[in-house]
Amino acid sequence: MKSASSFFSTLRHSTGLVLTLALLVTTIVTPAEAQTKPAKLAKSYAQAGLASLAEVAPVLACDKLTGGALNDQLAAVVGAKTEILSAKAIEQDGAPYCEISTLIAPNIHSQYRFPVKGWTQRYLQTGCGGLCGMVDIHTEHDQGCVPADTHALALGATDMGHSGKNMGDGSFGDDPQARIDFAYRGQHLTVVLGKELVRQFYGVPAKFNYFAGCSDGGREALMEAQRYPNDFNGISAGAPAMNFVIQNSFYHGWQATSNTDANGKTILTADKLPLLHKAVLDGCDALDGQKDGIINDPRQCKFDPVVLQCKEDQADTAQCLSAAQVETVRKLYAGPVDANGKHLTIGGPQYGSELSWDGVFVTKSVDQVVPSTFMALGSIKKLIFEKNTPDDYTLKDFHFDAAQFDLERAMHSLYDATNPDLSSFANAGGKLILWHGWSDPHISPINTIAYYTAVNQVLGKDKTSDFAKLFLFPGMYHCAMGDGPSEFDLLTPLMRWTESNQAPTSIVAHTVSGFPPKLGPPPGDKDHAKGDLPPLPVMPINKAAIKTRVVFAYPNKAVYKGAGNPNDPANYRAQAGEREPTSYDWYGAEFMQPGFQKQCSVVEGKLSCQ
């Protein structure tokens, strides 16, 4: 099911992000896809490698999903007061659905859309981005997925326990229960309720339950696997904001302050990014044996921006960087460090990601506030610390040192989804696909690599390989877009693995034309329209594929064989990538160890975690 905002629903910054849901986009359809669409829709589940499950019709009329008695039944299952606010027949993309809106006490709003015809016993819950605060049912990265294309999925989503004026609004942190609901309770109770509503509506439970999310949705996905291993059979976790407390403070706080001078002006502006990106490609593009505008593994790249520094007597500075800009670029790549150079995060943005910095920690004008400022403060003020900061708190009050880091450790046990012990999820038969774009400016892909490495260390490579895979997409931005392959179907491989035990070893992905998108506030987005928040990307319509690549499961990467059409995945072979260190030298090295997560409750109006 594609809503008007479906494609960019995951392009929500995971860091106090300021994206709203009013993005006008459409699904990207390549020429080949357009020609074969009817064939894809007609393809049987067996041909797709999925379980052949009978279609089940509802046993209740949609408007019968109401009443006090039913609310009482639902509350008994959920374990909290539960109310169906509305149940109505709707049409989505020409298909009939029953749309159900619910409230779980105290303030978890959820919505479900159940197909009236053709349900094939699958439930999909989708993640929420940024700091959430609104309900958005959507599917994405599912082009060609039979159940999605044929409207055969029961769907659910939640606002995670609070309402916000935008997805960077962290004011709900004044309420300790809202913190818990955002951290993990909201998604969990939404699926508990969703499973029971499915059973009530269709008369049978779903055979397979799935979760898919990116950005904070990726954090939510991992939180489900770690805390509630029996909730879902298959989970897709994209660009997960798993290191929530540090990501939403040290990372974006550093990126913002590094690109802001003493007078509050932006140092590096967007007009310099193409120059920087070209220099990086000139030095590193061909390292994988193929000069195609994509850096396959940025960890191979060795680049010093000093090569772009303007000469002392250079009159035309349009094609060079000032000394201050060179130093800023170095800081942006490196990520936050203390006075002694010790890292405060696992990794920074990778080489090749430069064009994606625009609108994140780089602005078009020196007079604009770096957007990472909003992203950091949205979480720092109300969520990151046990005691909230004063309203007049700014990034000038934030210190990049061990003392500041230690103040954030307490909330690590609440918000973070970095527990590598997924043994309960694996033992329950669950399947997990992790994925990330190498050119993600919001969350460094090194985070996801480090997590996957930690899972391997805790469970062993053989067991990990049986239930978890990682895919890294060269040139892809945060959840979507980029100058590399960013359009692909992850839902089918996840379902095939879950239902038929066929593990995915590669994903075919497309780069699309129309890149980069224009920027501007979408219609109806009042906060952006009046200039309170940075501009949002608006995706052009009906773009065509201009590159096709195969992406192999980590640690393998795709290497061109040297002959044949470079857009034919058959002309690539899998090659082991750079060896990853067994540990990372940063202040939070112990964050990816088992046993840190706590269950929290509200006692006498305060957060209490055990």
What is the pLDDT at residue 359? 95
pLDDT band of 165, cuts 50, 70, 90: confident
Q: What is the pTM of this model?
A: 0.90
Considering 412, 446, 465, which residue would you say is the last residue of a domain? 412
Structure tokens, 271: 């007009």
Residue 453, in any domain of the structure = no
In a domain, 345, yes or no: yes
Helix residue ranges per DSSP H, 460-563: 461-467, 491-500, 526-529
- Assess if residue 451 is contained within a domain: no
pLDDT of amino acid 159:
97
Q: With 80 as the cut, is the pLDDT of residue 11 above it?
A: no
Q: What is the mean pLDDT of residues 375-380?
A: 95
Return the DSSP state at 251: I
Distance CA(132)–CA(267), nearest Å, equals 31
More confident: 81 or 165: 81
Q: What is the tally of structural domains in the chain?
A: 2
Residue 260 placed within a domain: yes
- Separation CA 217–CA 419 (nearest Å): 16
User: Is a pLDDT exceeding 90 seen at residue 20?
Assistant: no
Q: Which residues contact 348 (CB under 8 A, 6 or more apart)?
A: 251, 332, 333, 334, 335, 444, 446
Distance CA 584, CA 586 (A): 6
Residue 259 and residue 403 share a domain: yes
Cis before 176 (ω within 30): no
In this model, does residue 211 exceed pLDDT 70?
Answer: yes
For the cut 90, the answer to whether the pLDDT of residue 319 exceeds it is yes
**pLDDT for the residue numbered 545:** 62
Q: Report the pLDDT value the prediction gives residue 206, as an integer from 0 to 100.
A: 98
Q: Of all residues in the chain, what percent carry a pLDDT higher than 90?
A: 79
Residue 523 has pLDDT above 90, yes or no: no
Q: What's the domain range around 85? A: 7-242+418-437+477-586
What's the pLDDT score for residue 22?
28
Same domain, 93 and 236: yes
Question: In this structure, are 321 and 390 located in the same domain?
Answer: yes
* The two structure tokens encoding residue 184: 């993990």
Q: Which two tokens stand for residue 380?
A: 């720092």
pLDDT of residue 582: 64
Q: Is residue 598 part of a domain?
A: no
In a domain? residue 375: yes
pLDDT band at 13 (very low <50, low <70, confident <90, very high): very low
Mean pLDDT of 284-305: 94
Which pLDDT does position 514 carry in this prediction? 53
Question: Is 266 found in the same domain as 230?
Answer: no
Residue at 123 is within a domain: yes
Residue 2 above 60 pLDDT?
no
pLDDT of residue 474: 96
- CB neighbour class for 283 (10 Å; exposed up to 12, middle 13-18, buried from 19): middle
Q: 381 pLDDT exceeds 70?
A: yes
Q: What is the pLDDT at residue 424? A: 98
What pLDDT is attached to residue 540?
A: 37
Same domain for 432 and 358: no
Q: Does 262 lie in the same domain as 139?
A: no
pLDDT score recorded for residue 23: 27
The amino acid at residue 281 is: L
Q: What is the pLDDT of residue 353?
A: 97
Q: What is the pLDDT of residues 54-99, one digit of tens each?
A: 999 999 999 999 878 999 999 999 999 999 999 999 999 999 999 9
Q: How high is the pLDDT of residue 46?
A: 85
Does the pLDDT at position 524 exceed 90? Answer: no
* Same domain, yes or no: 66 and 141: yes
Are 17 and 124 in the same domain? yes
The answer to whether position 193 is within a domain reads yes
Domain end among 379, 412, 445: 412
Are residues 291 and 211 part of one domain?
no
Q: Are residues 170 and 91 in the same domain?
A: yes
Q: How confident is the model at residue 140 (pLDDT cuts 50, 70, 90)?
A: confident
Could you tell me which residue, 535 or 70, shows the higher pLDDT?
Answer: 70
| Beta strand pairing call for 506-512 and 95-104 | unpaired
The per-residue pLDDT for range 492-520, each reduced to its tens digit, is: 999 999 999 999 999 999 987 654 443 33
Taking CA 419 as the corner, what is the angle to CA 432 and CA 181, rounded to the nearest 5 degrees? 90
pLDDT of 439: 97
Rounded distance, CA 446 to CA 438, Å?
A: 9
Q: Which of 190-204, 515-529, 565-579 has the lowest mean pLDDT?
A: 515-529
